[in-house]
Chain A
Amino acid sequence: MFKKIGFKLIVAVGITAIVTIGIFSYFNIRTHSSSLLAEVERSANQLSETIKHSTRYDMLLNQRESINRIINTIGEQPGIREVRVLNKVGEIIYSSHQGDVGKVIDKKEESCYSCHAANKPLTRLPIKDRTRIFRPVGDSSRVMGIISPIYNEKSCWSADCHAHSSSQTILGVLDITISLAEVDKQIRKSEMEIVVFSISAVIALSFIIGFFVRRWVDKPVKELLNATNQVGTGNLNYIIKDRGDDELGMLARSFNNMTKKLSEARLQLFQSDKMASLGRLAAGVAHEINNPLTGVLTYSSFLLKRTQDNPELQEDLKVIVRETKRSREIVKSLLDFARQSVPKKNEANVNEIIEHSISVVENQLTINHVKLIKNFDNNLPNITVDANQLQQVFINLIVNALDALNKEGGIITIATSQIRLSPYGITHIKKAVCPKRHDLMDNETKIEGMPSIKLKIKNDEKEGFINLDPVYGKDNHIYEFTPDLKKEIFVSCPQCNVSLIEPDNKCPKCGSPIFTFEVLGQGFFEGCINKSCNWQRWDVVDSGGLKDYIEIKISDNGCGISKEDLPKIFEPFFTTKGQKGTGLGLAVIWGIIDNHNGTITVESELNKGTTFTIHLPLQQNRQ
Chain B
Amino acid sequence: MNKEFDILVIDDEQVIIDAVLKICSAEGYKVDSSLDAKDALKKIESNHYKIFLCDIMMPDIDGFEFLEEIIKRKLNSYLIMTTGFSTVENAVKSLYNGAIDFIPKPFTVDELVSSIYRGLKYYEIQNAIKLSKNKLNDESIFYVPCPAKYYRLGYSSWACQEQTGSILIGIMDLFLKTIDSIFEIDLLKIDDEVLQGNSCLQIKSEKGEMVHQVLAPVSGRILERNEAVINEISIVEKDPYFKGWIYRVIPSDSEYELRQLIPCSSDRI
Interface of A with B (CB < 8 Å)?
283, 286-299, 301-302, 304-306, 321, 324-325, 328, 332, 335, 339, 342-343, 345, 384, 431, 433, 437, 518, 520-521, 620-621
Contacts and interface: CB of A to CB of B under 8 A. Distances in A.
Interface stretch (B14-22, B32-40, B233-241): B14-22
A298 B108 contact: yes
Given A290-B86, A332-B86, A521-B223, A301 B15 contact: no
Interface stretch (B70-78, B122-130, B190-198): B190-198
A288 B109 contact: no
A286 B106 CA distance: 10
B165 interface: yes
Contact of A301 (B57, B84, B85, B110): B110
**Residue from B23, B108, B165, B223 with most neighbouring chain A CB atoms (10 Å):** B108
B137 interface: no
B14 to A, nearest CB: 9
B4 interface: no
B107 interface: yes
A326 B199 CA distance: 17
Contacts of B110: 301
Interface string B109-129: 110100000000000000000
Contact of B191 (A302, A304, A324, A621): A621
Contacts of B88: 339
B107 A291 contact: no
Contact of B106 (A294, A431, A437, A520): A294
A292 B15 contact: yes
Which 9 residue pairs are nearest across A and B when measured between Cβ atoms?
A: A290-B84, A298-B19, A294-B106, A293-B106, A295-B15, A301-B109, A297-B106, A301-B108, A287-B84
B13 interface: yes
A521 B108 contact: no
B172 to A, nearest CB: 24
B109 A294 contact: no
B164 A520 contact: yes
A486 to B, nearest CB: 37
A304 B109 CA distance: 9
Contact of B164 (A298, A521, A620): A521
Contacts of A431: 165, 250
B166 interface: yes
Interface string B186-218: 000011110100000000000000000000000
A290 B106 contact: yes
18 contacts: A283-B87, A290-B84, A290-B85, A290-B105, A291-B106, A294-B19, A294-B106, A297-B108, A298-B107, A298-B109, A305-B109, A324-B106, A335-B86, A342-B195, A433-B165, A521-B165, A521-B166, A621-B190
Contacts of A342: 193, 195, 219
Contact of A295 (B19, B112, B190): B19
A449 to B, nearest CB: 19
B26 interface: yes
A521 B221 CA distance: 11
B56 to A, nearest CB: 9
Contacts of A288: 84
A511 B72 CA distance: 68
A407 B32 CA distance: 73
Contacts of B193: 342-343
B84 A291 contact: yes
Contacts of A289: 84
Nearest to B12: A291
A325 B104 CA distance: 12
Interface in B229-258: 250
**Residue from B22, B104, B105, B106 with most neighbouring chain A CB atoms (10 Å):** B106
Contacts of B192: 345
Contacts of A521: 164-166, 223, 250
Contacts of A293: 105-106
Nearest to A619: B191
Contact of B13 (A291, A325, A345, A433): A291
A465 to B, nearest CB: 22
Given A294-B105, A302-B26, A304-B109, 11 more contacts: A287-B83, A290-B86, A290-B106, A291-B13, A291-B15, A291-B84, A295-B19, A299-B22, A302-B109, A339-B87, A520-B166
